[in-house]
Amino acid sequence: MGDTEATVKSKKTVFVTVGTTSFDALIRAVDTHEVKAELLRRGYTQLLIQMGRGSYIPTKSEGGDETLAVDYFTFSSSIADHLRAASLVISHAGSGSIFETLRLGKPLIVVVNEDLMDNHQSELAEELADRKHLYYARPLTLHRVIADMNLDSLIPYHPGDATPVAKLINRFLGFADD
Amino acid sequence: LSSPKSSPLTEAKGSSISQLWPITLIIVTTTLIVIRLLYVLDRTGEPPRSSKDSALQQPLSTLIVLGSGGHTAAMINLLSVLQKDRFSPRFYIAAITDSLSLQKARLLEVTRPDSMEVTSSSQFMQVYRSREVGQSYITSVWTTSVALAHALWLMLRIRPQVILCNGPGTCIPLCVIAFLFKVMGIRWTPVFYVESIARVRRLSLSGLLLYKLFIADQVLVQWPQLQMKYLELTMLVASCNWFTSAAAMAKLNFA
């Protein structure tokens, strides 16, 4: 663990993304000591935050002995690359972010923004959590979810297939099934 | 209607009858419209032709309304598995504020195996949106009228035989015009609305409108919970959970 080379090899990044919106409550939550300590305990070494239009600025850190390296940016055109490089993704509940992460097969914790009125997006996160495709958290429960999660129990998500829909449309319009 | 001849009141009665004419006309017209409307509401959601129809394998001109972002991606996903020879020619419409969606549709058309046909069998257009996010209700009366007029113009030009659409509200004016065409007997265009995968327990506003007002012939939802919720009312909502395999679709009942 103390060996520099081993540390480089075992670089494990947590990528936090809020999409095009602002979600200060989430950024604030990942910036807390509890969450960082829990991530460190689970073997993660880097924390990269995409903070969107939020106004809360997390504290940067170089990392090193017993601390997490923390970096942030507002927007990027290469979110997909960051997702691909991550070992764990913590995301807002936007369906775009959720499905992009799941398709890449990355472990995902979705944090629901409780400040949004009529937030239908939590429906999707809850349902996918029930199906064990991801973990579901609120900003205040995030550290507990990280502590309790068992990534091996997550079920890989298989992207939807539109063929049944096409079949239904065809049948409705009187086209024969092929 | 004949007026009594020998009565001295003939003239007076005649004038009262001629005064009744406009009212009678209005009542008769209204009754006819209501009957037609009831017929349309009843027939909506039923397959437009029997499966033994001889004209069955004729391709259908198809209007595809692209929502934007994830909605467009979902529609492109669906189109990539639809038989292009059955749904032809294809007319793509996106909101005037959304330039990306039509690019994606062009890309899809080009990557189809028969890319030679692209220019002849597909067209790309834009439509005004009735309301932008956060727009005030007063100005949206005006913008909705503009959107409806524009949708009418496009629908008259395209005269689609099928409409495929999904959220958000871009498709609403076009679907409303399609409904009016049904009522007026201009053209019977089945409307398919595919609800977003993000809607698990409640329909979106667009989905709810098209479903409650019998504008869509089929509201396709992607979660069984949503189907269960609306199943009791009508059979318009069919579950198309894209997670499940085709085998589960055998349970579907819409005919």
Domain count within chain B:
1
Please report the pLDDT score of residue B245 as a whole number. Answer: 29
- pLDDT of B56 strictly over 70: no
- Say if residues B36 and B45 touch (Cβ distance below 8 Å): no
State how far the Cα of A91 lies from the Cα of A49, in Å rounded to an integer. Answer: 10
- pLDDT of B72 strictly over 50: yes
Of the ranges A141-150, B8-17, B146-155, B209-218, which one carries the lowest mean pLDDT score? B8-17
Query: What radius of gyration do chain B's Cα atoms show?
Result: 23
Mean pLDDT of chain B: 78
Mean pLDDT, residues B64-81 taken together:
87
Distance from CA of A79 to the nearest CA of B (A): 16
Of the ranges A133-147, B94-108, B147-161, which one carries the lowest mean pLDDT score? B94-108
- pLDDT of B243 strictly over 80: no
B contact test, residue of A102, A161, A165 with most B CBs within 10 A: A165
Mean pLDDT, residues B203-230 taken together:
83
C-alpha B103, offset from chain centre: 24
Res. B36 pLDDT band, cuts 50 70 90: very high
Please report the pLDDT score of residue B70 as a whole number. Answer: 79
Mean pLDDT, residues A55-61 taken together:
92
Burial of B140 (0-12, 13-18, 19+ CB in 10 A): middle
Q: Which residues of A touch B202 (CB under 8 A)?
A: 120, 123
- pLDDT of A143 strictly over 90: yes
Complete edge-to-edge strand list for the sheet that includes strand A69-73 = A69-73, A46-50, A13-17, A88-91, A108-111, A135-137
Count the residues in chain A.
178
The residue in chain B having the minimum alpha-carbon distance to the alpha carbon of residue A131 is B243
- pLDDT of B122 strictly over 80: yes
Higher pLDDT, A43 or B129: A43
**Domain span including residue B218:** 64-113+120-251
Res. B55 pLDDT band, cuts 50 70 90: low
State how far the Cα of B118 lies from the Cα of B107, in Å rounded to an integer. Answer: 10
- pLDDT of A176 strictly over 90: no
Q: Which residues of A touch B254 (CB under 8 A)?
A: 168, 172
Asked whether the beta carbons of residue B204 and residue A120 sit closer than 8 angstroms, the reply is: yes
The proportion of chain A whose per-residue pLDDT surpasses 90, expressed as a percent, equals: 57
- pLDDT of B232 strictly over 50: no
- pLDDT of A48 strictly over 90: yes
Res. A84 pLDDT band, cuts 50 70 90: very high
C-alpha A43, offset from chain centre: 17
The proportion of chain A whose per-residue pLDDT surpasses 70, expressed as a percent, equals: 92
Q: What is the pTM of this model?
A: 0.78
Of A89, A49, A50, nearest to A69 (Cα)?
A49
Give A108-136 pLDDT, tens digit per residue.
999 998 877 556 778 889 999 998 999 99
* 3-state per-residue secondary structure call for A16-73: EECCCCCCHHHHHHHCCHHHHHHHHHCCCCEEEEECCCCCCCCCCECCECCECEEEEE
Which residues, other chains included, contact B228 with Cβ-Cβ below 8 Å and sequence gap of 6+? Answer: none
Asked whether the beta carbons of residue A120 and residue B199 sit closer than 8 angstroms, the reply is: yes
Please report the pLDDT score of residue A137 as a whole number. Answer: 95
Count the residues in chain B.
255
Higher pLDDT, A164 or B92: B92
State how far the Cα of A169 lies from the Cα of B47, in Å rounded to an integer. Answer: 10
Query: What radius of gyration do chain A's Cα atoms show?
Result: 18
Mean pLDDT, residues B30-36 taken together:
94
Backbone φ and ψ of B15, nearest 5°: -70, -35
User: Does residue B44 lie in a domain region?
Assistant: no
What CATH number has the domain bearing residue B204? 3.40.50.2000
Residue B168, preceding peptide bond in cis (omega within 30° of 0): yes
User: Does residue B97 lie in a domain region?
Assistant: yes
Mean pLDDT of chain A: 88
Q: Which DSSP state fits A116?
A: S
User: Does residue B8 lie in a domain region?
Assistant: no
Asked whether the beta carbons of residue A175 and residue B53 sit closer than 8 angstroms, the reply is: no
Mean pLDDT, residues B73-78 taken together:
87
Please report the pLDDT score of residue A22 as a whole number. Answer: 87
Terminal CA-to-CA distance of chain A, rounded, Å? Answer: 59
SS3 of residue A112 by DSSP: coil
- pLDDT of B13 strictly over 60: no
User: Does residue B203 lie in a domain region?
Assistant: yes
Res. B52 pLDDT band, cuts 50 70 90: low
Res. A57 pLDDT band, cuts 50 70 90: very high
Torsion of CA B161, B196, A106, A52, to 10 degrees: 110
User: Does residue B143 lie in a domain region?
Assistant: yes
- pLDDT of B160 strictly over 80: yes
User: Does residue B241 lie in a domain region?
Assistant: yes
* CATH 3.40.50.2000 is right for the domain spanning A4-172: yes
The residue in chain B having the minimum alpha-carbon distance to the alpha carbon of residue A96 is B70
User: Does residue B51 lie in a domain region?
Assistant: no
Mean pLDDT, residues A11-25 taken together:
91
Residue labelled with tokens 């829909």: A165
Mean pLDDT, residues A96-110 taken together:
92
Which residues, other chains included, contact A119 with Cβ-Cβ below 8 Å and sequence gap of 6+? Answer: A93, A112, A113
User: Does residue B195 lie in a domain region?
Assistant: yes
State how far the Cα of B19 lies from the Cα of B27, in Å rounded to an integer. Answer: 14
Strands (E), chain B: 60-66, 87-95, 122-127, 162-166, 191-194, 218-221, 237-239
State how far the Cα of A36 lies from the Cα of A30, in Å rounded to an integer. Answer: 7
Torsion of CA B235, B131, A21, A102, to 10 degrees: 30
State how far the Cα of B190 lies from the Cα of B165, in Å rounded to an integer. Answer: 11
Which residues, other chains included, contact B69 with Cβ-Cβ below 8 Å and sequence gap of 6+? Answer: A96, B100
Element (H, E) at A14: strand A13-17
State how far the Cα of B116 lies from the Cα of B105, in Å rounded to an integer. Answer: 16
Asked whether the beta carbons of residue B201 and residue A124 sit closer than 8 angstroms, the reply is: no
Asked whether the beta carbons of residue B249 and residue A164 sit closer than 8 angstroms, the reply is: yes
C-alpha B45, offset from chain centre: 11
Asked whether the beta carbons of residue B252 and residue A126 sit closer than 8 angstroms, the reply is: no
